[in-house]
Structure 1
Amino acid sequence: MIFVTVGTQGQFDRLIRTIDGWADVHGRTDVFAQTGPSEYYAAHIRAKPFVDPAEFRQCVESASLVVAHAGMGSIITALELGKRIIVMPRRASLGEHRNDHQVATARRFAEQGRIIVAFDEQELVDKLDQLEFITAAERLSAEAPSHLIDTIRTFIETGHARVENRAPVGGGM
């Protein structure tokens, strides 16, 4: 199953319309989308405006691919479960969000090699057409590293973070 999610922060009809058209062209009947408050009626995929958190996690667990907006919850859940994920960020210039933080989020995760990003509809279709070449991401641990926990604990207990002495980057004086 391909699970598509737009989150709960408003409509993302551009993503749903693109997936619906791709599924029609390819005869895909295994696509389920959480559409949010969409004005677009999907004709070729199963869709539901909202799913509760337990159903959302179950959909991600069952999916062979997740296609999502660039929301942190969607990305992190897919990575925790080691799922392949294609992200298409919402764009402020198209009225899909109030700023372009999703574009920045998508770029940062893509730089790390953790996700595939499609910045527009044609890129999304092209990436969906290449599904067999998209590999699953390395699972993201659900637990914070011990040094991060220690730093937070120190900050809470003392009011300031413990700073470790480290050599300067680049090995200079």
Structure 2
Amino acid sequence: MIFVTVGTHQQPFTRLLAAVGPLAGVDELVVQHGSAPAPPEAAVAVPYLSFAQTVAYVERASVVVTHAGVGSFLVARRAGHVPVMVPRLRRLGEHVDDHQVQFARALEEQDDAIAVLDVAGLLGAVRAVPPRRPVAAARPGTLPAAVRRALDGEPLGSAAPRWAPYAAGRRSAAT
């Protein structure tokens, strides 16, 4: 299964979605399409998914195609994928700046992603995806669990972070 996600950004990502049709000939196509219309070639198409649903699709997928969002990359990478990343472009009104281009290129330089700026190369990029890597083990600590709860919309509690006294001290010393 090929999982395609455009993330939760409010601007539609029609350029990517218009290019996914040929991927349906490679494998079953599951698409999270955001505010744009669903591609007709998708076996499953949903506007938005919870974090847990996204993780489940990523873990089942043979290939992950994503906008170049940090969260989407981390989920894919943690599941062992080298994702195909199609960054949103400012000049096309897909985002407010080109930080996704910079991020995708930096990851590609490290062999952690395949960056696709021209969607005409999407099918070739999907066919070039290397086998999945060993799944990254979770590091001990509360941050990963807190991020997962936040993304799932669960309350995080009101405990002050460990660095709060230091930040308060800097503020009071500056006033």
TM-score tier after normalising by the smaller chain length? 0.7 to 0.9
Cα separation, partners in 2 of 1:55 and 1:23, compared to 1, 3 Å: same
The alpha-carbon deviation at position 136 of structure 1 amounts to 2.2
Superposed CA deviations along residues 86-120 of structure 1, whole A, max 9, x for unmatched, are 11100000000000000011011111111111111
In structure 2, how many angstroms separate the alpha carbons of the residues matched to 1:81 and 1:6? Answer: 18
Q: CA RMSD in A?
A: 2.4
Q: 1:143 aligns with which of 139, 146, 149?
A: 139
> Does the Cα contact within 8 Å between 1:79 and 1:138 map onto a contact in 2?
no
Provide the residue aligned with 1:9 in structure 2: 9
Q: Please, what TM-score do these two structures have when normalized by structure 1? A: 0.74
Find the counterpart in structure 2 of residue 169 from structure 1: none
Matched, 1:66 2:67: no
- Higher alpha-carbon Rg: 1
The reply on whether 1:93 has 2:94 as its aligned counterpart is no
Distance in 1, matches of 2:132 and 2:28, equals 19
- Structure 2: state its 5+ residue gaps: 142-161, 168-175
Matches within 5 A, 1:2-151: 2-10=2-10, 11-20=12-21, 22-23=22-23, 26=25, 28=26, 30-38=28-36, 40-45=37-42, 46-131=44-129, 134-137=130-133, 139-143=135-139
Secondary structure of the corresponding residue to residue 66 of structure 1? strand
Matches within 5 A, 1:145-164: 156=163
Q: Number of residues paired by the alignment?
A: 145
Distance 2:127 2:80 in 1: 21
Query: Which one-letter code corresponds to 2:39 in the other structure?
Result: A
Deviations, residues 32-68 of structure 1 (Å, cap 9, x unaligned): 0000000x34111121101111111111111111000
State how far apart, in whole Å, the 1-side matches of 2:164 and 2:15 are.
47
TM normalised by structure 2 equals 0.73
- AA aligned to 2:77 is L
Provide the C-alpha distance between the structure 2 equivalents of 1:121 and 1:3, rounded to a whole number of angstroms.
Answer: 16
Identity of aligned residues (%): 32
What are structure 1's unaligned runs of at least 5 residues?
146-154, 161-173
Q: Is the 8 A contact 1:90 1:96 kept in 2?
A: yes
For residues 130-151 of structure 1, the C-alpha deviation after alignment (integer angstroms, 9 at most, x for no partner) is: 45xx232454454289xxxxxx
